[in-house]
Structure 1
Amino acid sequence: MATEVKVAATLEEAREAVQAFSTAGYGRDHVYVLTHDGEGTDFVAYQTGANEPGVKEEGFMNALANLFRSKGDQLRSKLESLGVGEAEAADLENELDMGKIVVVASR
């Protein structure tokens, strides 16, 4: 699976990243946003027209396991379910900790 990632500092940058992925040929159903908290992710997904990683992407067992994981483990798990490698997911978790928005496109 081909996966591309952009890190945005603002909602506007996240919109631009979603649009850039769309222009590059990624369908909206293959573009995801993630913030450090669920409410932020909901808001950014709504504002940008992107998706949130969910059970479909994570798989039922992984989504269930996330109920018992730390926030950092949950975020890394969601990123990895979208095709991001383990080391990059750890780096992106740090970006999320600093309030950034991660935009992921996967085919």
Structure 2
Amino acid sequence: MENVKVVENGVEAKREIDQFIMQGFTKNEIYLLAHDKPRSEDLTESLDIQKIGVDEQGVFDSIANVFRTRGDELRSKLESLGLSRAAAEHYEEEMDQGRVIVVASKSA
């Protein structure tokens, strides 16, 4: 999947979101993930983009995420957006380093 960007902060995330919009994605097709859950929620809300929820993950995975570690939850969410298991693991490692992942997905 080519529609994944690794950024350091909200300013860079905003720039990548704008690029995705220029490529034809809507804000409902753009997702942001960070290892720190409050940071992820704050950036998602302030940048006015979509949260990964039941529509993207399905009921089972959404419920299972309640019991998963944050890393497992993030990998599951990335896979639900169309990333391979290996790619999800790679991007989760990037989030472990404090980076933010911006994903544009029409398939979710």
TM-score band, normalised by shorter chain: over 0.9
Match of 2:50 in 1: 51
Please, which runs of 5 or more residues in structure 2 have no aligned partner? Answer: none
Superposition TM-score, scaled by structure 2 size: 0.92
Q: Which residue of 1 aligns with 2:72?
A: 73
**Deviation of 1:37 (Å):** 2.5
Task: Please provide the CA RMSD for this pair.
Answer: 1.2
User: Under a length normalisation based on structure 1, what TM-score does the superposition of the two structures give?
Assistant: 0.93
Greater mean deviation of Cα atoms: 35-44 or 97-106: 35-44
Q: In the aligned structure 2, how far is the partner of 1:38 from the partner of 1:56? A: 19
Return the letter of the residue paired with 2:90.
D
Deviation track 1:31-63 (CA, whole Å, cap 9, x = no partner) reads 000111221111111222222211221111011
Unmatched 5+ residue regions in structure 1? none
3-state SS, counterpart of residue 50 of structure 1:
coil
Distance in 1 (CA, whole Å) between partners of 2:9 and 2:70 is: 22
The alignment of Structure 1 onto Structure 2 pairs a total of residues equal to 106
